Amino acid sequence: MTTLNLFDNSPTDPLWFEAEALRHGYRYVAGVDEAGRGPLAGPVVAAAVILPEGLILEGADDSKKLTAAKRDELFDVIMKEALSVGVGIGDHILIDDINILQATLNAMCQAVAALTPAPDFILIDGISKIPLPTPQRTIKKGDSLSLSISAASIIAKVTRDRLMLEYDALYPGYGFADHKGYAAASHLDAIAKLGPCPIHRKSFSGVKEHLPEVPAASSSQNLLLGGFYS
């Protein structure tokens, strides 16, 4: 993967990073962000967005700083005005299998791969690069500094929240519609009372303590299995 050496200052212009990439000859600059790394249940969702040059999204920011109504409003504008939007999902099974960071990077790769046209430069929120050959730059607090990343943050957050509303109907009693799977006190109480449901992340503290114990095989079973596989 390639990293472009842009200046390290923190500009106030939300299109500064995009403009800098364009100035270096890149044409399609995608912002990438995720939602759902911290929850105890549900998927991690990543989004990638290529905005047309000069588009202004009034009120766009880190999705966590916006009201649900404002996120929904901007979601519709982004889906209508963006050159391309891609979404990737790492479900609870993948998260437990390869860990949350790797599942997040996998979802980000899916999101970028879904973009048409394909980006020739990527701006990523955070510090972890995506395992793709496309030139890219990571930006701490990028969801507040880059409009493209802000847009991706909003798409990822709204998409995930809507998924969690569907899961709330499938698995009542956990309160997914309210806390979206995060470790709220009411969620932890529900897990302790009801046990984990199918979308809980079994490798996460707060969940794994409540998994049913798997009985150890007896000595006779061990002998039988040993004889079977010998």
Q: Is 202 exposed, middle or buried (0-12, 13-18, 19+ CB in 10 A)?
A: middle
Query: In this structure, what token pair is assigned to residue 189?
Result: 């109480």
pTM: 0.88
Tokens 């209508």 correspond to 80
Give bridge partners of residue 84 from the DSSP assignment.
50
Mean pLDDT of the region 39-52: 98
Q: What is the pLDDT of residue 167?
A: 98
Tokens 């979404």 correspond to 87
User: ∠ CA 64-174-38 to the nearest 5 degrees?
Assistant: 35
Q: How confident is the model at residue 56 (pLDDT cuts 50, 70, 90)?
A: confident
The ranges assigned to domains in the chain are: 16-170, 176-209
129-148 pLDDT, tens digit each: 999 999 999 999 999 999 99
Q: What is the pLDDT of residue 54?
A: 79
Asked if the model's pLDDT at residue 225 lies above 80, the reply is: no
Overall fold of domain 16-170: Nucleotidyltransferase; domain 5 (3.30.420)
Share of the chain above pLDDT 70, in %: 87
Position with higher pLDDT, 225 vs 121: 121
Pairing of β 44-50 and β 29-35: antiparallel
